[in-house]
Amino acid sequence: MNNLFKHINDNDLRLIADKIAGNIRIAPEDGLLLYKKADLSLLGLLAGIVRRKHNDNFAYFNHNFHIEPTNKCIYNCRFCSYHKPEGDTESWEYSHDEMLEIVKRFDNKNVTEVHIVGGVHPSYDLHYWGSLIKKIKEHRPALHVKAFSAIELDYMITRAGCTIEAGLKLLKGYGLDSIPGGGAEIFDEDLRKMICDEKSSSELWLTIHETAHRLGIPSNATMLYGHIETYIHRIDHLDRLRTLQDKTGGFNAFIPLKYKKSNNSMSYLGEVNITEDLRNYAVSRIYLDNFPHIKAYWPMTGKESAQLSLSFGVDDMDGTIDDTTRVYSMAGSKEENPAMTTEEICKLIREAGYIPVERDSLYYPIKEW
């Protein structure tokens, strides 16, 4: 392995590269050094080694759509462009019937998943949201329901007077299949106080996901990057996720989420460039050695950047989405009306040199394209 990395001038980086090639877990200080000192070509090479161990030359996608029930929210996080107060012309709140109509729009389409995430509405508990899931399942039993960030779950379960475990059991009974990764933001408690002080704590986010895993409810994980955090904060975040995954094995995928500057109170920060995006994907793939998948959420990054990320450790392109999400378009994403056909997403994957594979929500292959 030393011959493979003999071109690396920095001895510390060469030792880290040998660890990665030898399938040896890197330490937090190694991850920090990769962020700070490794050039982009080396990171792409190392992330590619880890990616192939997990997923060979395949790149995954699914047929999915989103429901965003409301952007009314009890919280007002500084980075959020989605939250709107009651009475604002850009605020909305869908009824159960309106959300079922969204589901019915896909009755004759080959979709396998509905992703339900929105603001933390002040008025509703888990039974309100659980009954929505039940109605969706009654209409389309095979549709996988991936719903509610840990932040939403915290509020709706507490409002119902339940423990986290009891509340998740009830939601599973209603038909909840898995949990998305939102609300993690950045785990460092001091930073969290600065950007989302009202929100559920890092510890509670991790507890909710751990409890879900124990109950047989898989989930994803995220990290909001590119704002006031440092590389130390990112490694701390990744390390907490890796530790929990060692314990439960319940995370399907990790999705780095880029801070977008439009229409929020942190706009003065600007945004990190694509080089930093790719660096972050690569280090995440390398560090999270026990996560089977790293996802590029293309409505956030744009299609071309998501395509490029496949060469920096990413193996999942999310899904077709069909113009059903507004979270990132409201924050200034290039993808104002996010939708891709199967042909488009497969073409992007093939052009990057990978084999497109349609998957279900738990990453079981459906079809190789």
Q: What are phi and psi of 93, to 5 degrees?
A: -155, 115
pLDDT at 266: 87
| Phi, psi angles (nearest 5°) of residue 282 | -65, -50
Q: Judge residue 274's burial from the number of C-beta atoms within 10 Å of its C-beta, 0-12 exposed, 13-18 middle, 19 or more buried.
A: middle
Which H or E element spans position 213? Answer: helix 202-214
- Residue 321, pLDDT score: 73
pLDDT digits (tens, 9 = 90+) for 136-147: 999 999 999 999
pLDDT at 4: 67
Per-residue burial over 2-26, b = 16 or more CB atoms within 10 Å of its CB, e = otherwise: eeebeebeeeebbebbebbbeeeeb
CA distances from 226 to 149, 164, 283, 301 (A): 21, 31, 14, 13
Q: Whose structure tokens read 């793939």?
A: 285
pLDDT in tens, 192-206: 999 998 899 999 999
Name the DSSP letter for residue 319. Answer: E
Taking 50 as the threshold, does the pLDDT of residue 333 lie above it?
A: no
Q: Is pLDDT above 70 for 23?
A: yes
- β-strand partners of 254: 221, 294
CA distance 76 to 84: 9
Residue 47 backbone dihedrals phi, psi, to 5 degrees: -65, -35
Cα distances (angstroms) measured from residue 343 to each of 61, 173, 300? 12, 36, 20
pLDDT of residue 83: 66
pLDDT tens-digit profile of 139-198? 999 999 999 999 999 999 999 999 999 999 999 999 999 999 999 999 999 999 999 988
Residue 324 predicted with pLDDT over 80:
no
Instruction: Give pLDDT, residue 311.
Output: 97
Confidence of residue 340 (pLDDT cuts 50, 70, 90): confident
pLDDT in tens, 264-308: 878 889 999 999 999 999 999 999 999 999 999 888 888 899 999
pLDDT above 60: residue 92: yes
Helices (H), strands (E): how many in the chain? 14, 9
- 219 near 179, Cβ under 8 Å? yes
Band of residue 1 on the pLDDT scale cut at 50, 70, 90: very low
Q: What confidence category does residue 3 fall into, taking pLDDT thresholds of 50, 70 and 90?
A: low
Structural domains of the chain in order of their starting residue, each with its CATH number: 57-368 (3.20.20.70)
Q: What does the pLDDT look like over 112-144, one tens digit per residue?
A: 999 999 999 999 999 999 999 999 999 999 999
